Amino acid sequence: MTSAEPATGCTHARGERPSAAAGLCPSCQRIEQFKAGARGQAGSIIVTVFGDGVLPRGGRIWLGSLIHLLAPLGLADRLVRTAVFRLAQDDWLEAAVHGRRSDYRLTASGRRRFVEASRHIYSAEPAPWDQRWRLITVTGELEPEQRERLRRALFWHGFGQLGADCFVHPSADLAAVFESLESESLAPVLGRLLPLVAANPRLPASGDDADLVRRAWNLEGLDQAYRSFVASYAPLLTQWQTAGADLADETAFLIRSLLIHDYRRLLLRDPELPGVLLPPRWAGHEARSLCRALYGLLLPASERHLDQHLSLADGQIPTASALLSERFDLSDSLLAST
């Protein structure tokens, strides 16, 4: 595909509706795939848009503006309103009334949760390992339903499991994890959990850290998920490298949101093990490199789209902060063209 053929016949990528006869470009294919299952992902993509697009602009947006931004992803007005209401119930968002309109913003808890997630999503390289393991052990009785909810919650924080009563992670912030469990309605079980930090004394006859990793995590499954992510977004990277200037600002915003949405969901399962404990040719490295490269290409056009369409209830257009240039260690020169 050359710059003279930016969308392989797909006019939607230039901000128009595709004709029935037109082929779909890689970006449009990803958008259409999301739309097919959009109803089940409404809350998750809204959290992504708040954290990725709204947070650098003050963390606040008029509900009508949010509805307009998400409509091209197949999220109807009522679906967005319902999802926002549920996120408010779950202490992710809160309303700020302005006359007959309402802004929504991240709660203090929601902001903390996404700031912590941002450390994983946008870091250019994982932080060095201090060679200590973070453990959460069950010290009291749990009902089967509570135990399963706890297991699922810790799984999405990247914890592996050692037996029925012990969960392990190489670097988790245990205080932040407990706060998150509380916000996920698991407060009643916290008093029956004991957080620990442990170091391996490396005794001559003992097992090693790699043995623990093999027992606690299904790295093969996660590696395959990363490979699927790379296979899905590699064609989009090529498209934006060769024809990005001819593609619509709206499309850049939609793909940027889906990119971080998909990458964030993978990182929630990733314990971010140190390199010495990862298998050879770990696909997570390629996925991070691809995400960084594509995000950098999408950022200027997607920010132009937000400059036009992200507004507050009083009509103000909040501007982006320098927070954007810190993501993936992107330089300020990227923002100069927004």
Q: Considering the entire predicted model, what is its pTM? A: 0.84
Rg for the chain (alpha carbons), in Å?
21
Interatomic CA distance for residues 53 and 259, integer angstroms:
12
Nearest to 76 by CA among 110, 108, 35: 35
Instruction: Please tell me the predicted confidence (pLDDT) of residue 331.
Output: 63
3-state DSSP call for residue 98?
Answer: strand
* Length reported for the chain: 338
The reported pLDDT for the residue numbered 336 is 45
Distance CA 338, CA 241 (A): 17
CA pair distance 252, 145, nearest whole angstrom: 42
Nearest to 5 by CA among 19, 23, 30: 23
Domains belonging to the chain, first-starting first, are: 1-128+219-338 (no CATH), 132-199 (3.30.70)
The residue type of 267 is: L
Digit-coded pLDDT (tens) for 128-147: 889 999 999 999 999 999 99
**Looking at residue 79, what is its pLDDT?**
96
DSSP H or E stretch at residue 62: strand 60-62
Q: Identify whether the C-beta of residue 157 lies closer than 8 Å to the C-beta of residue 177.
A: yes
pLDDT at residue number 119 = 77
Q: What is the mean pLDDT of each run of 10 residues along the chain (338 residues)?
A: 38 49 82 92 94 93 97 96 93 90 89 78 79 95 93 90 93 90 88 95 87 91 96 97 93 98 90 87 94 95 96 94 82 48
Kindly give, in sequence order, each residue whose CB lies less than 8 Å from that of residue 54, ignoring residues fewer than 6 positions away: 60, 61, 106, 310
